[in-house]
Homo-oligomer: A and B are copies of this chain.
Amino acid sequence: MPPTDDHAAPPAPRDESRRNRTGRRGTTLTDVARLAGVSPMSASRALNKPEQVSLEILAKVNAAVASTGYVTNRLAGSLASNRTHLVAAVVPSIAGPVFQDMVQSLIGELSARGYQLMLGQAGYGEGMNDDLLATIIGRRPDGLVLAGVVPTAIDRQRLIAAAIPVVETWDLVPDPIDMVVGFSHEAIAGEVARFLTGKGCRRLAFIGGNHARALRRASAFAQAAAACAPEARVVQQAVEAPASVRAGRNALARILDQQPDTDAVFCSSDMLALGVLTEAGQRGLHVPGALKVIGFGDSQFSADIAPALSSVHIDAQAIGRHAAAFIVERCERPSAAPTRIDVGFSLVQRETS
C-alpha cells in the first residue's frame, strides 16, 4: 500500500466520463471533434465556416454531428465571440394589433439571416421598466428594436453605455438614439384633415390614446383642419390603451354628446373605427352619408367589413424588414452609419368616407 495520499491528487481533470460538476450535460464540440478525429477548432470551422475546411474534414465532422445529434451551444459561442445573434424587440403589448405585422416581418427577416428575436413588453406607460432593460442588456443582444415605446432619458443613457445598436421604429422621432425607421404622424394627420375637409366635413372628431404621440397627432389634425377650413371644429376623445371596439363605441357616444352634428371621425386604430361604425349603426347614423370614418393601420379586416373601412395604410412589414436589415448591417460592418428611413403611408379610400 503506497503512502497515504488523501488530498494530493489534483481532481482528475475531466476524464473519460461524460459528466461534469453539475450532472450530465450533452454532447460538446470536443466530443464531436474526437469522434471525427480532428481538432475542436476544425470541428468548429466545419460547422461555422465550411468553406475554410477541407472536404474530408467536413465530411467526417458532419458524420459525427449526425451520429451524436450534436447541437451547438450558442451560449458558449456567444461568450467567446462577443456576438449573440440575438436581437431584442420591445413593444407596448404583443396583444395590440398594430405591431403584429411588424414583429412578424422582423422575426422572419432576422431568422432568414441567422438571428433570433427576443420579445419584451413595456406596457403602455412611459419608457421601459428597469428590470426589462436590465434583463435585455444582460443577454447582450446584437441589437434592439423599439416599437411604439419611447425610452426615457435614463433608458437612452443605459443603451448608449451598453453600446447596443438601436432602431427606433414607428415614429420618426426627432432626436433618435441611433437609427430610425418610421413615418410622420403629423403628415398623416395633415393629410386626413385635408381629405375630410375637402369632402365638406366641418365638424370633426379625433379618437386616440392619451400618450404623447397620440396627442401630437391630435393637435396636428386640429391645426391642419383649421388651416384647410377656418370654420371647422375638431373635438378630441382620449381612450385608454389598448384600443378596442368598446372604447370606440364609447368614444363616439361621448363625441356625439359634445358635438351632435359631428360629420367625420378619425380614429387612431381600426379597432376603434370598428367600434365607431358599430355605434353609428346602432344609432341609425348612416356611414358615410351622415358620418365619415377613417381608421388607422389598415388591418386585415378593414377591407372586408361592411361598410368597408377607409384607413391609413402603413407598410408595417417594411418597417420590420428595414429594422432587421439595419441591425444586421451594423453588426456585420460596424462602420455603418446611423440611418433614417421614412416608409411613408397612404390613405386607403373605401366606403366609410
| Number of chain copies forming the complex | 2
Closest 3 CB pairs of A and B: A245-B304, A245-B301, A74-B138
Q: Say whether A275 contacts B304, CB under 8 Å.
A: yes
Residues facing B in A76-101 (CB within 8 A) are 76, 78-79, 81-82, 84, 86, 93-95, 97, 100-101
CB of A152, distance to nearest CB on chain B (Å) = 15
Which of A163, A278, A303 lies at the interface centre, i.e. has the most chain B CB atoms within 10 A of its CB?
Answer: A278
Residue numbers in B under 8 Å from A198 (CB-CB) = none
Interface string of A299-318 (1 = CB under 8 A from B): 01101111000000000000
Chain A: number of interface residues, binned into ranges:
35 or more
Residue numbers in B under 8 Å from A79 (CB-CB) = 73, 75-76, 79
Question: Provided the pairs A119-B119, A306-B282 are in contact, do residues A140 and B75 lie with their beta carbons within 8 angstroms?
Answer: yes
Question: Provided the pairs A104-B93, A121-B104 are in contact, do residues A300 and B116 lie with their beta carbons within 8 angstroms?
Answer: no
Question: Provided the pairs A71-B138, A274-B305 are in contact, do residues A100 and B94 lie with their beta carbons within 8 angstroms?
Answer: yes
- What separation, in Å, do the CA atoms of A249 and B300 have in the docked complex? 13
A246 within 8 A of B: yes
A54 within 8 A of B: no
Q: Which of A37-45, A127-135, A222-230, A335-343 contacts B (4 or more CB under 8 A)?
A: A127-135
- What separation, in Å, do the CA atoms of A49 and B131 have in the docked complex? 17
Residue numbers in B under 8 Å from A256 (CB-CB) = none
Question: Provided the pairs A26-B162, A140-B75, A245-B301 are in contact, do residues A135 and B119 lie with their beta carbons within 8 angstroms?
Answer: no
Residue of B nearest to A115 (CB): B135
- What separation, in Å, do the CA atoms of A131 and B118 have in the docked complex? 17
A281 within 8 A of B: yes
CB of A28, distance to nearest CB on chain B (Å) = 12
CB of A292, distance to nearest CB on chain B (Å) = 19
Q: Say whether A117 contacts B116, CB under 8 Å.
A: no
A271 within 8 A of B: yes
- What separation, in Å, do the CA atoms of A86 and B139 have in the docked complex? 10
Residues facing B in A291-334 (CB within 8 A) are 300-301, 303-306
Residue numbers in B under 8 Å from A301 (CB-CB) = 244-245, 271, 274
Question: Provided the pairs A75-B79, A282-B306, A304-B249 are in contact, do residues A135 and B107 lie with their beta carbons within 8 angstroms?
Answer: no
A1 within 8 A of B: no
Residue numbers in B under 8 Å from A71 (CB-CB) = 134, 137-138, 158, 162
Q: Say whether B306 contacts A69, CB under 8 Å.
A: no
Residue numbers in B under 8 Å from A72 (CB-CB) = 138
CB of A351, distance to nearest CB on chain B (Å) = 12
Residue numbers in B under 8 Å from A249 (CB-CB) = 304
Residue numbers in B under 8 Å from A134 (CB-CB) = 71
Question: Provided the pairs A22-B82, A300-B244, A304-B249 are in contact, do residues A121 and B138 lie with their beta carbons within 8 angstroms?
Answer: no
Question: Could you show 19 A-B contacts with beta carbons less than 8 Å apart?
Answer: A69-B158, A69-B161, A71-B134, A73-B138, A74-B138, A75-B78, A75-B79, A75-B139, A76-B79, A79-B79, A94-B107, A95-B100, A111-B132, A116-B118, A118-B119, A244-B301, A244-B304, A245-B304, A282-B306
A288 within 8 A of B: no
Interface string of A227-250 (1 = CB under 8 A from B): 000000000000000001110010
- What separation, in Å, do the CA atoms of A118 and B75 have in the docked complex? 14
